[in-house]
């Protein structure tokens, strides 16, 4: 694991956006794994800013998002399709037909999850997957106790995740109980992983992911098994790491942009 620690959230987002840009510049037909959530808003904002300066294109980029709620229509403001279109896809030259999210329609949801997994497996493979982390250590919607060998499927959301996402809905009853998510093994199949976490509320989950044992009780800890994972965190999210000095010594100011 490469642990890059930045002074603040802005610099973490900037670094993550630079690494995404680099992946697109190096391979203009790359397949990206993409994430939603509050943390990614400023990452995408910066990526759009870089795109506007010119010099690279998403025209031949393909994307697979990590997850989608079950039973939330695409047009709903809280759907992840809506999030991706309004926070990234509408502002860059990616072809919408090349952007994929799991189908959260309740009809045939399990079957559609399997089809999504097949589509990923039938592609040339995800080159770089962007990940956030939940306070409970989830990546995608792989909640604690998710099988470390899991594939795209329906997961029941924990109450803590539903509470965390309440801000996107009017009331708790409206927050979905289920989601379709790439599995942990699906994520591990990506050639590179890039996880971004900011803020003190993530410090405990980050410490368990990086320095705890690999365990389904902290699904993100499975990334310890990935050969090419970069973790970008700000000082607040890094505050519970025991080997903080070591990581800062290896990459002063998070200065390391190569995988
Ligand atoms: P957040 O969500 O970026 O909104 O904190 C991350 C996650 O739960 O995966």
pLDDT value at 259 more than 60: no
Compute the distance between CA of residue 184 and CA of residue 94 in angstroms, rounded to an integer: 26
Question: Collapsing DSSP states into helix, strand and coil, what is residue 17?
Answer: helix
- Mean pLDDT score, 62-89: 97
Residue 136 annotated to the active site:
yes
Cα 108 to ligand 1 centroid, rounded to whole Å: 27
Find residue 179's DSSP bridge partners: 69, 155
- Mean pLDDT score, 7-34: 98
pLDDT value at 41 more than 80: yes
Tens digit of pLDDT for each residue in 101-112?
999 998 999 999
Tens digit of pLDDT for each residue in 203-228?
999 999 999 999 999 999 999 999 99
Question: Residue 255 has what pLDDT?
Answer: 83
Question: Residue 253 has what pLDDT?
Answer: 85
Question: Residue 256 has what pLDDT?
Answer: 72
Percent of the chain with pLDDT over 90: 97
Cα 198 to ligand 1 centroid, rounded to whole Å: 10
Average pLDDT of the residues of the chain: 97
- Any atom of ligand 1 within 6 Å of the Cβ of 39: yes
Q: Which of 190, 206, 194 is nearest to 21 (CA)?
A: 194
Q: Where are the alpha helices (DSSP H) in the chain?
A: 9-26, 38-52, 80-87, 109-122, 159-164, 184-188, 203-211, 235-238, 244-250
């Amino acid at each position: 694991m490469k642990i890059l620690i930045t002074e603040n959230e802005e610099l973490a987002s900037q670094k993550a956006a630079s690494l995404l840009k680099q992946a697109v510049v190096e391979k203009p037909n790359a397949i990206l794994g993409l994430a939603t959530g509050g943390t990614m808003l400023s990452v995408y904002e910066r990526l759009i800013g870089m795109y506007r300066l010119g010099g690279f294109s998403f025209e031949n980029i393909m994307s697979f998002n990590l997850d989608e709620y079950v039973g939330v229509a695409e047009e709903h403001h809280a759907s992840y399709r809506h999030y991706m279109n309004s926070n990234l896809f509408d502002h860059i030259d990616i072809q919408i037909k090349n952007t994929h999210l799991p189908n959260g329609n309740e009809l045939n949801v399990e079957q559609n999850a399997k089809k999504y997994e097949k589509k990923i497996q039938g592609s040339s493979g995800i080159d770089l997957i962007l990940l956030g982390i939940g306070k409970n250590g989830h990546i995608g919607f792989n909640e604690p106790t998710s099988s470390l060998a899991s594939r795209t499927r329906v997961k029941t959301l924990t109450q803590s995740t539903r509470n965390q996402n309440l801000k996107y809905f009017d009331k708790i009853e409206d927050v979905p109980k289920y989601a379709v998510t790439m599995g942990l093994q699906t994520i591990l199949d990506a050639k590179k992983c890039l996880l971004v976490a900011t803020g003190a509320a993530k410090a405990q989950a980050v410490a368990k992911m990086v320095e705890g044992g690999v365990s389904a009780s902290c699904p993100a800890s499975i990334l310890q098994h990935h050969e090419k994972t970069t973790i970008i965190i700000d000082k607040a999210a890094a505050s519970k790491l025991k080997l903080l000095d070591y990581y800062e010594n290896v990459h002063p100011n998070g200065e390391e942009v190569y995988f």
